[in-house]
Structure 1
């Protein structure tokens, strides 16, 4: 492989979905997901996605076999990390892009998630997350949401509703008493912390993951009162 070909992204799949175009490409050793021409995520790190799951688990204080909802399958880091932890009970993943699900089941992203998808605790739901949280009758001990780029900048305008008071109220309805909401963000958002407090969550805090350049990734946490 020449240096030029190694440095140039190679498109592995391109799909036109209900929310626009999604692309999976390989750039050297990395797999990348692009939505409507905007970079979303790649397989370069995964620290903040793993923190999303671990911080939620820690906030549950040893609750036995907690049920977790992971919002957004992405490149699969959060799912794989949850599946590697025997403390979790049922693991439900809601993903609205059929292409992303296919890339995990039958495509290149299976290298990250194959074991987790084979885990009998895992369920994949093909649905829009905001629709799901508004319509499901199920409840969870933890919601780990990694949708778009976080509350301050969304690639898809419809995703803004998840971070609004109405979306957070729907999330709170899904949580068991003392359950935890963990929200991934591409940058810390003091304003979103205030929104969590105003929506009735308690023990609101933000954990940061430094990155090589730019602002840190963040996980915002809030607990539904018991």
Structure 2
């Protein structure tokens, strides 16, 4: 997600493309100048103006994986405006690419709407699979399925989890999203990782408290990568390595 540059957008009047009510509230797609924005329940989520930190989310996870791992799989939590998915699909080293998105409207805007300009090649990639589900529920349910059936374990675990569903662990879009960053939520993330797999979490600001939460949850090598933005504190990607 990207917090908009106030100076850039002050003289551009937003135009609403679609407004839709869903189980989690209102989701709006707007055009501001030549860029698109997604707004959820009145909260700005992201736009198509930059995307550097969303791309870093995927790149940093791949770089943190142990060398020599063939065709690593990645789960991207949150389709958003599609920058993370497009980046993953443009990298031939990735194997299976799964995107979990809870808002049907966002999926539609990519499949048949204006956001297809970013994601169409990635959606056509045979490695890509889009799952319409709540991320935390998906993590917990699939982990339980894998635990009950060892034969399915490979299909429910990933080498990397790249999560971007909020403006950060300290700035959630909806209250129930906070469960993802809780001890139970982070345990569900660990359960979905292969040995030595990487958890990467996007945030609009650094969170020392979340770094400590990752360590408390058993993640090793906890680091924070920063991306300088035009105004305000840098965007960051929090990284943690699961048990080997």
Tell me which interval the TM-score lies in, with the shorter structure as reference length.
over 0.9
Q: 2:66·2:196 contact (CA, 8 Å) conserved in 1? A: no
How far is the alpha carbon of 1:225 from its aligned partner? 1.8
Q: Secondary structure at the match of 1:143?
A: strand
Equivalent runs, 1:40-189 vs 2, <5 Å: 40-62=45-67, 63-136=69-142, 137=146, 138-189=156-207
Q: Are 2:23 and 1:18 aligned?
A: yes
The Cα shift of 1:61 comes to 2.9
2: CA distance, partners of 1:85 / 1:116: 10
Matched length: 221
Instruction: Give the match for residue 44 of structure 2.
Output: 39
Q: What is the DSSP-based 3-state SS (H/G/I as helix, E as strand, rest coil) of the residue aligned with 2:222?
A: strand
Helix, strand or coil for the counterpart of 1:73? Answer: coil
TM-score normalised by structure 1 residue count: 0.97
1:201 aligns with 2:207: no
What are the Cα deviations for residues 21-61 of structure 1, in whole angstroms up to 9, with x where unaligned? 00001000110000001111000100000000000000113
Runs of 4+ in 1 over 4 A off after TM superposition: none
Tell me the distance in 2 between the aligned counterparts of 1:194 and 1:113: 34
How big is each residue's C-alpha offset from its partner over 1:169-218, in whole Å with a ceiling of 9 and x where there is no partner? 00000000000000000101011000000000000000000101101000
Runs (5+) with no aligned partner, structure 1: 1-5
Separation (CA, whole Å) in 2 of partners of 1:45 and 1:165: 32
The alpha carbon displacement at 1:70 in A equals 0.1
> In 1, Cα distance between the equivalents of 2:199 and 2:110?
25
Residue 7 of structure 1, CA deviation:
2.1
Q: TM-score, normalised by structure 2?
A: 0.89
